[in-house]
Amino acid sequence: MDPFFVIGVLVCVLSAVLCVGAALLRQPPNDITILSVAAVELFLLAYAVGAAVRQLTGEPVLGEPWEFWGYLLTALVVPVAAFWWSILDKTRWSNIVLAAAGLTVFVMLFRMQQIWEGVAGL
């Protein structure tokens, strides 16, 4: 199993759990929930650099490269959009949006892993 994928799953799940917990406690977005989504974004940036290095050093994407990079670019936008949502809407429901960002990126990472390994589509 790819270490990048494992780390990504841990970061995304931890972020989602923190954000759902804050929503259940009826808390507005706070430093912890916002920074957890920032950690997801930071991970994605590191993942993008790692994927580029892996591909440039000869490790091919066994699926469609355009599909992999399309998923990655889209995943990079999700935490940013959730962050802006949480800044504009200071209700506890913004924590649900932040949690959804973590879960969405988790699903996208799973699909990117399948594309990298050349597994047929869902």
3-class SS letters over the chain: CCHHHHHHHHHHHHHHHHHHHHHHCCCCCCHHHHHHHHHHHHHHHHHHHHHHHHHHCCCCCCCCHHHHHHHHHHHHHHHHHHHHHHHHCCCCHHHHHHHHHHHHHHHHHHHHHHHHHCCCCC
What is the C-alpha separation between 28 and 30, in angstroms, rounded? 6
Q: Please give the model's pTM, rounded to 2 decimal places.
A: 0.91
pLDDT of residue 121: 54
What is the C-alpha separation between 6 and 11, in angstroms, rounded? 9
pLDDT in tens, 2-60: 898 999 999 999 999 999 999 999 999 999 999 999 999 999 999 999 999 999 999 88
Where are the domains positioned within the chain?
A: 3-117
User: Residue 90 pLDDT more than 60?
Assistant: yes
What pLDDT band is residue 118 in, cutting at 50, 70 and 90? confident
Q: Which of 15, 13, 7 shows the shortest CA–CA distance to 82?
A: 15
User: Residue 122 pLDDT more than 70?
Assistant: no
pLDDT of residue 119: 79
